[in-house]
Chain A
Amino acid sequence: SAVISQKPSRDICQRGTSLTIQCQVDSQVTMMFWYRQQPGQSLTLIATANQGSEATYESGFVIDKFPISRPNLTFSTLTVSNMSPEDSSIYLCSLLAGGETQYFGPGTRLLVL
């Protein structure tokens, strides 16, 4: 399976600032996804990021708050904008491989003070 890396692995940020999370894959993939996992909760899909098209967002998530880039088939970024303590979560990128099988990156642990 593909190797997925994320940067940063964790960060502590002040409210009102923005953080960009990078997701790098060691092979070309068409579909990438960004998920959020709030403390003690399960995973919730934020958006789908396909190369060459704009990201599609799930209900409750908007582009102004979570802008996503997908410049090529191996890389994507998620920005968490104008952060508040409620944005403290683990943010995970994932990729679709072999049909419906999905693999996750190691995650970015974000704490907003």
Chain B
Amino acid sequence: QKEVEQNSGPLSVPEGAIASLNCTYSDRGSQSFFWYRQYSGKSPELIMFIYSNGDKEDGRFTAQLNKASQYVSLLIRDSQPSDSATYLCAVPGTAGGTSYGKLTFGQGTILTVHP
């Protein structure tokens, strides 16, 4: 069974610092990885996704994949207090299989950015 693991934190960083969030996955065949941000009392919001063919940068966010060690990272540069949220890593089922589209989530990492 596909497993996704995250350090639940909380992770606390000062404003302006780099926040580094990690996620490990069990299925070596996983090809894509998603990062969601969830503010308290809100639903998850997609902020980033990467495929197994490389890292991705979008503004202050960078997602990196280490296939050999089976982990994916999300880096948030110049962290702001508004980045304080729970960050969820998710891995979808394999395309063409019965689990296509189904997301397996990690338990989420709580990030706090303090002024």
Contact surface of A with B, Cβ cutoff 8 Å: 31, 33, 41-45, 48, 58, 90, 92, 94, 96, 100-107
Instruction: With CB as the reference atom, state the residue of chain A lying closest to B91.
Output: A100
Contact status of A104 and B49, CB under 8 A, knowing A31-B101, A96-B101: no
Q: Please, how many angstroms separate the alpha-carbon atoms of A33 and B103 in the complex?
A: 10
Interface of chain B residues 92 through 107 with chain A (CB within 8 A): 92, 95, 101-107
Say whether, besides A42-B108, A43-B44, A92-B43, A102 and B103 are in contact (CB < 8 Å): yes
A33 touches B88 (CB 8 A): no
- Specify which chain B residues have a CB less than 8 angstroms from the CB of A43 in the assembled complex: 44, 88, 103, 105
Instruction: Classify the secondary structure of B's interface with A.
Output: strand
21 CB contacts below 8 A, A to B, read A42-B106, A42-B107, A43-B103, A43-B105, A45-B104, A48-B101, A90-B43, A92-B44, A96-B101, A100-B32, A100-B95, A101-B46, A102-B34, A102-B46, A104-B36, A104-B43, A104-B44, A105-B43, A106-B42, A107-B42, A107-B43
